Structure 1
Amino acid sequence: MTQNVKYNPFNILFSFLSIGLGLYKVNTIYGDTIILPCHLEVPNGLMFGKWKYVSSLFAFRSATKKNVQYDDVPEYKDRLSLSENYTLSINNARIGDEKKFVCMLVTEDNVFEQATIVKVFKQPSQPEIISQAEYLETEQLKMLGQCIAKDGYPEGNLTWFKNGIVLQPVEETIVIHEQTNVDQASGLYTVISSLEYKPTKDDTDAQFTCTVTYFAPTGQETMRSESAVFEIHYPTEKVKIQVLSQRNSIKEGDNITLKCSGNGNPPPQEFLFYIPGEPEPIRSSSLYALIDVRRNATGEYRCALTDESLMDSTIITIHYLDLSLTPSGEVIKQIGEALPVSCTISSSRNATVFWLKDNTRMRSSPSFSSLQYQDAGNYICETTLQEVEGLKKRQILTLIVQGNIHTRHYIILLSIVSVFVQNIKMTKKTSTDGSYKTISCHVEGFPKPAVQWTSSGGVINKTEETKYMNGKFVSKIKIAPEENVTLTCIAENQLERTVNSLNVSAISIPESDEPEEKSDDNMENVNDQAKLIVGIVVGLLLAALVAGVAYWLYVKKSKSASKHVDKDLGNIEENKKLEENNHKSEA
């Protein structure tokens, strides 16, 4: 509020009269010494000089005797000093010294007088805002505080500011009351201005100050108070619910926290939470925790003020992923059998599914209409939700394929099938610098055979193996023999044990590396395999002969019931299938 500076009407009138009458004026500071020169030229024949105020005489100096005499005036006791040039000094200026003083020079036949007006000024203390409110509330007119400036003279004026802008009185919004107190002993003024204020939300962090405008000998001056900032209280107008989670997407098993907040000040401390599945709202602080959430926790979550006047809601989706592999675990099947495999996915969103066989990704899901040995292995069905971190499921199928041994009518087939469960061969290769040789044992069989290396010096443990794929792998050793040695590769599983040997010359003896070098044992194995092939052919011929005889016998009995004929024909067809299987086994 802009406040006009208050002037003392008497002082204003007196100032004009003084100027018109040729009076002199002296401005002094409260507490300083007042110097009052006598503005008269000393006349000839001066008898004495004297000072008076109003109508009282209180300082006398003789021109002839040079003595000084002061009247007994209590308010000036021990404060006066009159110099030889009749300049009067009054120390410790007071408000009561603000008056007209007259210098008198007296001769025998005349009296000369000259008046001087004394004005006293006192700078007030720096204004400060006292009795400050703890907080202000919107829509309420409340005492903000009082601005006070103490012990000034003449009386000063106070002005209120908000963010540097003058506050003007506004009905029921800005109300200013002014008060002036005068100290009776000193005559100094203390001015007080009280501010009642109705704030808005925009007044948050606003800076309130006040200034005092006062008069000094040099003119008008202003001092500003320290700024004051008030907490503004206002009601909540909006409620907000938030989901606090370590991840952007929430999956089963996660912990989540709901946070409800209001935009009021002070913020509300208690809320009502509406949780899916809960019949009644839950009263809680601004945070509500949900532990190990399940998929049935998906739904709309709401929070509201306790009086339910304001509410907010959000949708939370709990992501899940289920995988069912049929069959799973360890499954043993016979060669040639069919095996349907299904991997069923249930998820909150579209999931990506892929298959692995022995840790190698497959192009498509497995399908077995007729199992072969190479179909054996570990199959993994794996699925994941790309947009949900850490949501992945997998199940394993361990498939074991065994030979299906047929025993019905043909005992010879039992010995034929087990012979070809596994096969091994050996190769050797010399390094480019000729410092060592690599001996390889190529093994084929299922279940995977265990391989052992021996030499004339004993068992060899330092070996390397390639990956077991489609029933095949390679076992390798590196040697640098100083003399000729014989290496033996032994492959064994639960179906059979196969041995192969290879002669390796010393590293210093030149030799031409061949892909394969047969030992006497190898030759015996070849001869044995040749014999077995002949045995297979003979066995098949015998089987065909037996089938032909059986067929002839059944034709001969054609008069029997037709069902017997069908049964015999079925046996013939079965025999043909067995023969085909035998051929496949030989292959």
Structure 2
Amino acid sequence: MTVLPRGLALVFVHACLLHSVWTKLELSVQDSVEVLLGAPALIPCHYGFGPSSQEPPFVMLQWFVRSPGNSSRARIFYGDSGQQLVDNNTEYSERVEVISETNRSVLTIMDVRLSDHQREFFCQVNGLAAGSAEGKTVLRVFAPPEAPVIEAVPHGISVTEEQPAKIAVCEAQNGFPKPNITWYKNGELLESSPGQVKFLVLHWRSSSGLFTVQNTLLLRVQKETRDALFSCRVSFSVPGDVRSLESSPVNVTVHYPTSMVELWKESPPGLLREGDTVELRCQGDGHPPPTFVFTREQQPDVPLDSRGDVLILSSVSRKDSGLYQCRPGNPHSSSEAKGEVQLTVHYLDAAVVVPAETEIMFRGEALTATCNALSSLPTTTAWYKDGRIVGTGSSLLLQDASYHTAGEYVCEVTVPVLPALQTQSKVHIIVHGAPQMQSPEQEVRMEQPTGRVLNLSCEAQGSPPPTLSWSLSAAQSWEEVVSRSFSHSSLSVVSIRVSADFSAVCNASNDLGSEARVFSIKAVPMVTAPAAFSPAEGSGVFIVVIILGLLLLAILGSVIYFLHKKNRLPCGRSGKQSITKEKGNTKDIVVEMKTEESVLLKAVNGDKRAPTEQ
């Protein structure tokens, strides 16, 4: 840059003295210019000589700067109609630029720094005889801070603290001028209050000149503070405006004693029964959650073995019924805070049946059996025999006992509202009585061919099981082929070769009496010569064999005829395969043959046929 020569300055002054009188110079500048850090600052300067006056032939314009608190100032620019010069060796030698127009000059400061803040920039205009004037503009520099960062204290704060305790710290970095931090609780501004709310504000300046502000919130917490959300807001100035940035909200941990306790049955659901495992859970409104002491009302000074907030009672019985309580183990908690729950363990004792185990009855007698079970809940009773229900209620009446009455009776007692409670007991009924023939006919008459082997069957009921014996009226060849005894009956079958008219008597007897059944047999000549068979085989065997042979021949002939009619009986290999495939249909034929065989055997050996059926 070029410095104005001294000789040129003298010529300039001389010219000013020789000039005629001019109108007074007028000049205007802005009081201040605001700009963001790093941006260019434009400082305008306007001047004039009045609307009717003549502009002087020579106008000199200069820019000066002065730092705050400094009385001296330094020139940074000079210019007139002939030249524009930026002064060397100043702080602004490389950062300023001046654009001069008619009656207007604009000073531009590039890359504004924090050191430019609050500096005064002077615009001076000299119009010689028109006079001189200057104006001052203050440059203000702004730097928005970073978003505020909030950090809540990691530990809990007790409501028992008597003085405000540190809640959270809010910090905003790298702002200029110094930003301001305010606190909010649930969106409402917090203000300082003696003994309740305090703020501790710190700030420092980095080497770059930017400010970092830290604001610590101290608050006397209450129980309701546990749900509060705290946030901070940093306010800062920017050119022509004031803006703010808000932090994310935080919640603080509040410690407070337990004032309310609740105790409930966690499991099992529904009513309790003996043998259940019961889980009781206790919960209080204190924080942190306290440990609990479980007791029973019957023994309030004897703590029960629990795990934290859970009490487990294994395989409970009716003795475990009662009022259970839990209290906080924390001594700071209210001594009146406790939870209670009433447990009722329901039970069903074993059913008792009267008569017990085994009871003997006689035919025709009546018996009332009772069944009862002690229970804490209403019960229902049902009686079963052979898996079928035979009665309900605690009493079972057995009237006019018969042999069908005998058997095992099961009494089942159930609690309807708690079906898992169930018990059973039983009684065995034995019915004693004199023998009674299975068939009501006392005498059976029949005709049989001479020489035939006849099977006679005799079955009688009775308890104790009757003894069966046979007696024949005439000399006959006979033998007993079946003799069986059951719990309430006996069976005997004899095989007799018919040689003449005779009667056979089956006599059934036990300790309580006897009963007889008579078979009257009339011998008639046989139409065909009888074959010789042993008595054990019976004359019907030969007849059955003949009939079966005839049936098989008839069936075989029908099958061959059927295949012939359907052209399904070839002579080759494929014909054999077709016959093989037809074998699946013979199953039904075999079944039918067996059925006929059983009918024939029954007809031949039937022991209860009347004479008209012969």
- Residues 350-371 of structure 1 show CA distances to partners (whole Å, capped at 9, x for unaligned) of 2222323331242563234763
- Distance in 1 (CA, whole Å) between partners of 2:192 and 2:141 is 33
Does the alignment pair 1:171 with 2:194? yes
> What is the deviation of 1:340?
5.1
> What is the deviation of 1:421?
4.7
Aligned to 1:522: 609
Asked whether the equivalents of residues 139 and 198 of structure 1 are also in contact (C-alpha less than 8 Å), the reply is no
Aligned to 1:507: none
> What is the deviation of 1:27?
1.6
Which deviates further from its counterpart, 271-280 or 284-293?
271-280
- Distance in 2 (CA, whole Å) between partners of 1:172 and 1:444 is 109
> What is the deviation of 1:400?
3.0
> What is the deviation of 1:170?
2.8
Does the alignment pair 1:57 with 2:63? no
Asked whether the equivalents of residues 48 and 60 of structure 1 are also in contact (C-alpha less than 8 Å), the reply is no
Distance 1:361 1:263, change over 3 A: farther
- Residues 19-41 of structure 1 show CA distances to partners (whole Å, capped at 9, x for unaligned) of x9864432211221111233235
Match of 2:391 among 359, 362, 367: 362
- Distance in 2 (CA, whole Å) between partners of 1:133 and 1:484 is 99
Asked whether the equivalents of residues 383 and 394 of structure 1 are also in contact (C-alpha less than 8 Å), the reply is yes
- Distance in 2 (CA, whole Å) between partners of 1:484 and 1:130 is 103
Match of 1:87 among 99, 106, 109: 106
- Distance in 2 (CA, whole Å) between partners of 1:257 and 1:146 is 44
Aligned to 1:134: 155
Helix, strand or coil at the partner of 1:321: coil
Does the alignment pair 1:372 with 2:402? yes
Helix, strand or coil at the partner of 1:204: helix
Give the length in aligned residue pairs: 428
- Distance in 2 (CA, whole Å) between partners of 1:350 and 1:52 is 109
Match of 2:419 among 365, 389, 411: 389
| Identity in percent | 25
Partner letter of residue 78 of structure 1? E
Asked whether the equivalents of residues 276 and 297 of structure 1 are also in contact (C-alpha less than 8 Å), the reply is no
Which deviates further from its counterpart, 310-319 or 224-233?
310-319
Aligned to 1:294: 317
Match of 1:96 among 115, 124, 128: 115
> What is the deviation of 1:256?
0.9
- Distance in 1 (CA, whole Å) between partners of 2:244 and 2:419 is 67
> What is the deviation of 1:255?
0.9
Distance 1:102 1:286, change over 3 A: same
> What is the deviation of 1:103?
2.0
Helix, strand or coil at the partner of 1:237: coil
Helix, strand or coil at the partner of 2:46: coil
Distance 1:356 1:65, change over 3 A: same
Partner letter of residue 322 of structure 2? G
Helix, strand or coil at the partner of 2:177: coil
Asked whether the equivalents of residues 371 and 401 of structure 1 are also in contact (C-alpha less than 8 Å), the reply is yes
Partner letter of residue 599 of structure 2? L
- Distance in 2 (CA, whole Å) between partners of 1:175 and 1:265 is 25
Match of 2:40 among 13, 17, 33: 33
Helix, strand or coil at the partner of 1:89: strand
Q: CA RMSD in A?
A: 3.9
Does the alignment pair 1:209 with 2:270? no
Partner letter of residue 42 of structure 2? I
- Distance in 2 (CA, whole Å) between partners of 1:217 and 1:351 is 89
- Distance in 1 (CA, whole Å) between partners of 2:269 and 2:460 is 50
Show structure 1 runs of 5+ residues with no match: 1-19, 404-416, 425-442, 459-477, 490-500, 504-517, 528-587
Aligned to 1:257: 279
Asked whether the equivalents of residues 295 and 301 of structure 2 are also in contact (C-alpha less than 8 Å), the reply is no
> What is the deviation of 1:235?
0.7
User: TM-score by structure 2 length?
Assistant: 0.61
Distance 1:338 1:167, change over 3 A: same
Match of 2:83 among 62, 66, 76: 66
Aligned to 1:343: 371
Asked whether the equivalents of residues 151 and 250 of structure 2 are also in contact (C-alpha less than 8 Å), the reply is no
Helix, strand or coil at the partner of 1:296: helix
- Residues 304-351 of structure 1 show CA distances to partners (whole Å, capped at 9, x for unaligned) of 233592333322111111211133445554435565523122111222
Aligned to 2:256: 234
- Distance in 1 (CA, whole Å) between partners of 2:199 and 2:600 is 113
Asked whether the equivalents of residues 149 and 172 of structure 2 are also in contact (C-alpha less than 8 Å), the reply is yes
Helix, strand or coil at the partner of 2:319: helix
Asked whether the equivalents of residues 381 and 392 of structure 2 are also in contact (C-alpha less than 8 Å), the reply is no
User: TM-score by structure 1 length?
Assistant: 0.63
Show structure 2 runs of 5+ residues with no match: 1-26, 50-54, 67-71, 442-458, 463-486, 492-539, 546-589
Asked whether the equivalents of residues 122 and 135 of structure 2 are also in contact (C-alpha less than 8 Å), the reply is yes
Map residues 109-124 of structure 1 onto 2, 5 A cutoff. Answer: 109=129, 110-124=131-145
Asked whether the equivalents of residues 178 and 192 of structure 1 are also in contact (C-alpha less than 8 Å), the reply is yes
- Residues 63-113 of structure 1 show CA distances to partners (whole Å, capped at 9, x for unaligned) of 46635232423x435322234544322122234322321223445555453
